[in-house]
């Protein structure tokens, strides 16, 4: 008898299951069952180290591979074999809706078989439904027990310091005998990542550099931009303990206000000043464009005095020319200036300002930041009054009998208003937190100490652009008089200055 072609799907939720031969057991049972049913297994798709409780099937690569393989007209797959329902999903419904039904709609002849029951498998039969329900309930109970155990460690009843529940040790730390985190030999790499980011180097460029010099990554594989981004957003490096940070159902990292943060739980690797500089630079380049390595280091801040328009950066190099012709050009009056002439003029003035202590010195900036804090506090009070008014309006509308609008529309409008005001309050609080951390100890002084020892001539394009965007507000060119008018920022914290402008 000619055997028909089939495919198998196996899963383990944790790499630790390698020790109990989970894959080998499932694979052996699938081959045995397929042979009894008159099929041969053309390939086994492995869903490795994936939680079927935290991830829906559409977010699991193996399940998407299964769907594509079975629906491929050239492969002629006639059956799918699996170990049991718990290996497919622990969410009760998603496999049936997103895999089984899609296959049956396009290829109704394809059969499904479970090694744990006789005959063809049908997800709508009562036994299958019960197994799905049991698998889902088992995961819920495990999750609840794990959560309770974590809460016991994080909120000890004796009032002692919270302990870090079992989880992956952050890169750059080692776990001590009492589970405390201690910086290890890789902690300088974490500092380097933040330092390079603060100077405008992109996550991808940093990853390429670390790969080129052979620095091991957290996964022992190649560094990637996503790995760098994860490190840059990990508040463990400030000495804090973030918990419940991931929203696993949608694979999204929560915003800072959405997760729990236990302060000062272990030795910090990153100074507060470096953390803020790195994140300031990230936002700076988001605002002015992410092409940090461009030779046009003044792009987006150069304006024509006559037209008041932004100059465009252009490469006018003729084909086959050995010499580059890079210019800034006004799109209105068509006046232009070479990149060398403009950069030399701006940098010459900038260097002279450095010798006169740019930004008026750290003490003056400290006073300025304190004033900014008062402005934000005043803004926060106004926001709180608006928030109180929204909730008052909500109570009045609920109790009103003469409202002309449907209750659903009112609920939607109020929900949007509450979420908007909540977001604005959080934004203001984030800047207050930033200012307070900068004013602590000598964080601000450390930033200015580093700025005053910069050799501008040795900076790379990304570093020079970061410095210029932090220091210069605008550069206006008067083509008629061949003169420049440079407006400097009051402080190097561009995000803060932009926020003050927005709320003033």
pLDDT at 214 over 70: yes
Helix (H) or strand (E) holding 463: helix 461-471
At 434, the pLDDT band (50, 70, 90 cuts) reads: confident
How far CA 184 is from CA of 1, 196, 237, 265, in Å, comes to 63, 20, 12, 16
Residues 444, 438: Cα–Cα separation, whole Å: 5
pLDDT at 162 over 80: no
pLDDT of residue 452: 66
Contact between residue 75 and residue 66 where contact means Cβ atoms under 8 Å apart: no
Q: What share of the chain is helix, strand, coil (3-state, %, to 5)?
A: 50, 15, 35
Q: Where are the beta strands (DSSP E) in 13-58?
A: 39-48
Q: What is the mean pLDDT of residues 56-78?
A: 92
pLDDT of residue 50: 66
User: What are the structural domain ranges in the chain?
Assistant: 4-138, 271-504
Q: What is the mean pLDDT of residues 246-265?
A: 53
How far CA 496 is from CA of 353, 357, 490, 502, in Å, comes to 22, 21, 11, 10
pLDDT at 476 over 80: yes
Q: What is the mean pLDDT of residues 143-169?
A: 57
CA 328 from centroid of its chain's CA atoms: 34
- The chain-wide mean pLDDT, for the chain, equals 82
Contact between residue 346 and residue 475 where contact means Cβ atoms under 8 Å apart: yes
| Polymer length in residues for the chain | 504
Maximum Cα interatomic distance, the chain, rounded to a whole number of Å: 93
* Digit-coded pLDDT (tens) for 261-300: 667 778 899 988 888 889 989 988 888 876 778 899 999 9
pLDDT at 20 over 80: no
Is the pTM value of this prediction over 0.75?
no
Q: Is the dihedral of CA 106, 111, 116, 118 positive or negative?
A: positive
pLDDT of residue 167: 66
Residues 339, 321: Cα–Cα separation, whole Å: 17
pLDDT of residue 14: 66
**Can you identify the CATH homologous superfamily of domain 4-138?**
Resolvase, N-terminal catalytic domain (3.40.50.1390)
pLDDT of residue 259: 46
pLDDT at 260 over 60: no
pLDDT of residue 289: 79
Q: What is the mean pLDDT of residues 351-366?
A: 63
| Burial (CB count <10 Å: 0-12, 13-18, 19+), residue 431 | buried
pLDDT at 225 over 50: yes
Q: What is the mean pLDDT of residues 412-424?
A: 85
pLDDT of residue 248: 44
Tokens in use for 348?
């010459």
pLDDT at 199 over 80: yes
Residues 3, 6: Cα–Cα separation, whole Å: 9
């Amino acid at each position: 008898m000619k055997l028909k072609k089939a495919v198998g799907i196996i899963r383990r939720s944790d790499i630790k299951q390698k020790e109990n031969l989970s894959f080998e057991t499932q694979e052996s049972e699938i081959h045995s069952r397929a042979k009894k049913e008159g099929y041969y297994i053309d390939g086994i798709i492995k869903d490795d180290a994936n939680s079927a409780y935290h991830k829906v099937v559409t977010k699991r690569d193996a399940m998407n591979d299964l769907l594509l393989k079975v629906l491929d007209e050239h492969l002629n797959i006639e059956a799918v074999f699996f170990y049991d329902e718990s290996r497919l999903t622990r969410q009760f419904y998603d496999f049936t809706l997103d895999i089984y039904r899609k296959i049956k709609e396009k290829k109704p002849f394809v059969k499904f078989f479970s090694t744990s029951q006789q005959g063809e498998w049908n997800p709508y039969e009562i036994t299958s439904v019960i197994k799905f329900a049991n698998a889902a309930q088992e995961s819920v109970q495990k999750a609840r027990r794990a959560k309770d155990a974590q809460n016991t460690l994080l909120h000890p009843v004796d009032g002692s310091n919270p302990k870090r529940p079992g989880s992956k040790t952050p890169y750059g730390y080692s776990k001590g005998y009492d589970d405390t985190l201690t910086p290890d030999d890789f902690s300088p790499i974490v500092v380097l990542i933040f330092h390079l980011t603060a100077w405008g180097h992109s996550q991808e460029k940093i990853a390429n550099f670390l790969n080129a010099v052979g620095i091991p990554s957290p996964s022992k594989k190649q560094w990637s931009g996503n790995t760098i981004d994860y490190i840059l957003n990990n508040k463990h490096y400030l000495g804090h303990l973030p918990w419940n940070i991931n929203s696993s159902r949608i694979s999204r990292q929560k915003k800072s206000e959405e997760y729990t943060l236990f302060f000062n739980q272990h030795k910090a690797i990153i100074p507060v000043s470096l953390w803020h500089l790195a994140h300031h630079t990230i936002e700076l380049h988001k605002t002015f464009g992410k092409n940090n390595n461009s030779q046009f280091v003044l792009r987006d801040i150069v304006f024509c005095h006559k037209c008041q328009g932004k100059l465009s950066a252009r490469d006018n190099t003729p084909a086959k020319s050995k010499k580059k012709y890079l210019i800034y050009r006004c799109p209105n009056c068509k006046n232009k200036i070479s990149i060398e002439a403009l950069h030399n003029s701006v940098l010459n003035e900038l260097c002279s300002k450095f010798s006169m202590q740019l930004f008026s010195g750290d003490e003056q900036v400290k006073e300025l930041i304190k004033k900014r804090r008062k402005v934000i506090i005043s803004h926060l009070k106004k926001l709180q009054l608006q928030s109180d008014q929204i909730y008052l309006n909500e109570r009045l509308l609920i109790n009103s009998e003469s409202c002309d609008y449907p209750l659903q529309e009112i609920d939607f409008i109020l929900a949007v208003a509450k979420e908007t005001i909540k977001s604005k309050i959080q934004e203001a609080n984030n800047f207050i937190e930033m200012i307070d951390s900068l004013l602590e100890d000598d964080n601000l002084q450390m930033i200015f100490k580093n700025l005053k020892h910069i050799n501008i001539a040795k900076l790379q394009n990304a570093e020079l652009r970061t410095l210029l965007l932090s220091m210069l507000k605008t550069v206006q060119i008067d083509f008629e008089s061949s003169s420049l008018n440079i407006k400097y920022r009051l402080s190097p914290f561009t995000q803060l200055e932009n926020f003050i402008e927005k709320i003033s």
